[in-house]
C-alpha cells in the first residue's frame, strides 16, 4: 500500500490510485497499458499537450548548465528573458514580475503587495473584496478570499474577514456592481480580487466581460487595486490569451500559473504596476517585500515557460483554440437539448453543464460515480459535484473530443436509467 496522502482525495473511498507511466499529447498511459484522454488538462495546467518536445528539450538543455540558484541577490538569463516576455504580452503598465511556484502563492503575493502598498504609502487600508463562490487557492490567505465552502470550513478560525460580493448572475449583474460601488465608497477597500469571466473550482460559473469592465471602473473611481487571478483563465482558456483582454482592461496586479509552463514544471508569477513596486522601493529595509520560497525563479521552470511561450509564436495556438471552441459549441448544443441537463455554458475552451440531481453541490454523490465511470471508458473527467466540464489541451483531436462526448452521453444515460454505480 502506498504511503502517499493525495490532494483532494478521500482515501477511505478511493484507496487505490492510478499509476501513470508516461504522457504524450492529450493522453495519459497507465502502468497496466490503458490510454486515457486527459479531458481536463491534468487540473487545467496543460495547454500545448503533454511532453511537448520543444519544452522537454529546453528543460534538458537548461539542466546541463544551471539547475537552481538562490534568487535573492542573484539572477539568471531564463528568468530575465521570461520577465521581459511576460511584460511584452500582458500590458505596458505591468512593469514588475515577481516569481513564485504555484497559483496559490501567486495570489498570496498579490494580496501582500496590495496591503503593503497602502501601508507603505502611509494610507493603510485593510479591506479585500471578492466574489461569493470564488476559489483562489488553499493557503490561509487564499482560502480567506475564497468563498465559504467545504474547502475551507474546517479552518475558519485561521481565516481573515473579507467582503463578499454576490456572483453576477445573468440578468442580475447590476446587483454585484452596485454592491461593490457601495463598498468601495467606504475608503477602506485595498483590493478587489476576481477570477475573470470564469470561476473555476466554484463550479465553472461564467459571467460577461462587461461586468469585469464595470468593476474595474469602480476600482479606478475609488482608488481600489484590481487583482486579476488568471491562474486558470489565462493562456487562452477563455478564448483570448488573458480573460481581461476581452474587457479591454489592465489590472493593477495579475496572477499567472498553470499554463505558464504548459504544466511541465511548477511556476507562477505575479505582475504589478510600477506604482506598486515603488511603494516598496526605499532605503528603509523595513519596506522590503518580504516573500519568497527556496525555489523562487527556478531556472528549469523558467526555461520551460520560455519554451511554452515561444510556441504561441511558432505554432497555430490561437487557431487550435478557436477550432476547439467551435467543436465544443456543437457538443454543448447537443447536451443542452437533454432534459436531464441544465445551465449549459461555454467560454473559450471551457464547456460545462449541470446534471439535475436531488443533492446539488460539490459533495453531490453523483460526482465520484461520474469520475469512475469516465475513467472506465478511457476519459479523465473530474466533476465538480453535479457539474460536468471539459477543459482539454489545445492539441485535442476531433476524434478524441467525440470520444469524450460519447462518454458523457453514456454517463448521463446511466444516471437516467439508475445504473450508474
Cα–Cα distance between 159 and 148 in angstroms, integer? 10
Contact in structure between 30 and 36 (CB atoms under 8 Å) = yes
Contact in structure between 194 and 212 (CB atoms under 8 Å) = yes
Closest CA to 91 of 256, 224, 237: 256
Burial of 378 (0-12, 13-18, 19+ CB in 10 A): middle
Cα–Cα distance between 229 and 207 in angstroms, integer? 15
Q: Block means of pLDDT (10 residues each) for the chain, length 421 residues? A: 93 93 98 97 98 98 98 98 98 98 98 98 97 97 96 95 98 98 97 98 98 98 98 98 98 98 98 98 97 96 98 98 98 97 98 96 95 97 97 98 97 93 83
Strands 127-131 and 163-165, by their bridges, are parallel
CB atoms within 10 A of CB 187: 11
CA 374 to chain centre: 23
Strand partners, 225: 191
Same fold, 55-314 and 316-417: no
Angle (deg, nearest 10), helices 209-222 and 173-184: 10
How far is residue 283 from each of residues 157, 180, 278, 288, measured CA to CA in Å?
37, 37, 12, 9
Alpha helices, DSSP H, located in 233-378: 244-247, 274-280, 299-314, 317-336, 366-376
Contact in structure between 383 and 373 (CB atoms under 8 Å) = no
CB atoms within 10 A of CB 283: 5
**Fold topology of 316-417:** 3.90.1150
The pLDDT of residue 1 = 79
Q: What is the dihedral of CA 361, 367, 368, 373, to 10 degrees?
A: 180
Where are the domains positioned within the chain? 55-314, 316-417
Helix, strand or coil for residue 35?
Answer: strand
DSSP run (H or E) holding 121: none
In what order do the strands lie in the sheet containing 27-30? Answer: 20-24, 27-30, 35-38, 379-380
CA 398 to chain centre: 25
Cα–Cα distance between 159 and 152 in angstroms, integer? 9
Q: Give every CB contact of residue 17 below 8 A, 6+ residues apart in sequence.
A: 2, 4, 6, 9
**Fold topology of 55-314:** 3.40.640
The pLDDT of residue 421 = 83
Compute the C-alpha angle 389/395/396, nearest 5°.
Answer: 45
Dihedral class, residue 382 (left if φ above 0, else alpha if ψ from -120 to 50, else beta): beta
CA 256 to chain centre: 8
Burial of 260 (0-12, 13-18, 19+ CB in 10 A): buried
Grid coordinates representing 88 are 511584452
How far is residue 322 from each of residues 98, 242, 349, 402, measured CA to CA in Å?
31, 14, 8, 17
The pLDDT of residue 91 = 96
The pLDDT of residue 259 = 98
The pLDDT of residue 93 = 98
pTM above 0.85, yes or no: yes
Amino acid at each position: 500500500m502506498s504511503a502517499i496522502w493525495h490532494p483532494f482525495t478521500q482515501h477511505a473511498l478511493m484507496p487505490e490510485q492510478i499509476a501513470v507511466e508516461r504522457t504524450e499529447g492529450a493522453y495519459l498511459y497507465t502502468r497496466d497499458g490503458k490510454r486515457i484522454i486527459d479531458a481536463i488538462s491534468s487540473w487545467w495546467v496543460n495547454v500545448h499537450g503533454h511532453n511537448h518536445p520543444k519544452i522537454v528539450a529546453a528543460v534538458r538543455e537548461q539542466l546541463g548548465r544551471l539547475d537552481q540558484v538562490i534568487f535573492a541577490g542573484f539572477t539568471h538569463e531564463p528568468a530575465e528573458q521570461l520577465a521581459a516576455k511576460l511584460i511584452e504580452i500582458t500590458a505596458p503598465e505591468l512593469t514588475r514580475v515577481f516569481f513564485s511556484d504555484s497559483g496559490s502563492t501567486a495570489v498570496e503575493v498579490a494580496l501582500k503587495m496590495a496591503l503593503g502598498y497602502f501601508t507603505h504609502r502611509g494610507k493603510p487600508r485593510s479591506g479585500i473584496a471578492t466574489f461569493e463562490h470564488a476559489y483562489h487557492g488553499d493557503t490561509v490567505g487564499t482560502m480567506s478570499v475564497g468563498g465559504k465552502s467545504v474547502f475551507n470550513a474546517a479552518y475558519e478560525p485561521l481565516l481573515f474577514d473579507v467582503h463578499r460580493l454576490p456572483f453576477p448572475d445573468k440578468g442580475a449583474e447590476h446587483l454585484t456592481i452596485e454592491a461593490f460601488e457601495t463598498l468601495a465608497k467606504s475608503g477602506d477597500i485595498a483590493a478587489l480580487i476576481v477570477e475573470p469571466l470564469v470561476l473555476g473550482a466554484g463550479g465553472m460559473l461564467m459571467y460577461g466581460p462587461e461586468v469585469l469592465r464595470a468593476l474595474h471602473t469602480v476600482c479606478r473611481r475609488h482608488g481600489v487595486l484590481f487583482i486579476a487571478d488568471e491562474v486558470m483563465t489565462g493562456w487562452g482558456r477563455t478564448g483570448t490569451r488573458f480573460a481581461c483582454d476581452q474587457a479591454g482592461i489592465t489590472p493593477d496586479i495579475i496572477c499567472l500559473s498553470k499554463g505558464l509552463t504548459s504544466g511541465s514544471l511548477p511556476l507562477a508569477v505575479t505582475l504589478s504596476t510600477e506604482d506598486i513596486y515603488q511603494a516598496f522601493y526605499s532605503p528603509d529595509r523595513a519596506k522590503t517585500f518580504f516573500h519568497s520560497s527556496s525555489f523562487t525563479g527556478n531556472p528549469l521552470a523558467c526555461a520551460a515557460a520560455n519554451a511554452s511561450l515561444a510556441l504561441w509564436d511558432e505554432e497555430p495556438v490561437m487557431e487550435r483554440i478557436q477550432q476547439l471552441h467551435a467543436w465544443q459549441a456543437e457538443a454543448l448544443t447537443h447536451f443542452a437539448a437533454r432534459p436531464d441537463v441544465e445551465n449549459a455554458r461555454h467560454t473559450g475552451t471551457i464547456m460545462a453543464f449541470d446534471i439535475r440531481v436531488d443533492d446539488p453541490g460539490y459533495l453531490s454523490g453523483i460526482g465520484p460515480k461520474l469520475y469512475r465511470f469516465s475513467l472506465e471508458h478511457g476519459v479523465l473527467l473530474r466533476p465538480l459535484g453535479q457539474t460536468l466540464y471539459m477543459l482539454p489541451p489545445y492539441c485535442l483531436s476531433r476524434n478524441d473530443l467525440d470520444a469524450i462526448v460519447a462518454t458523457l452521453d453514456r454517463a448521463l444515460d446511466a444516471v437516467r436509467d439508475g445504473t450508474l454505480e
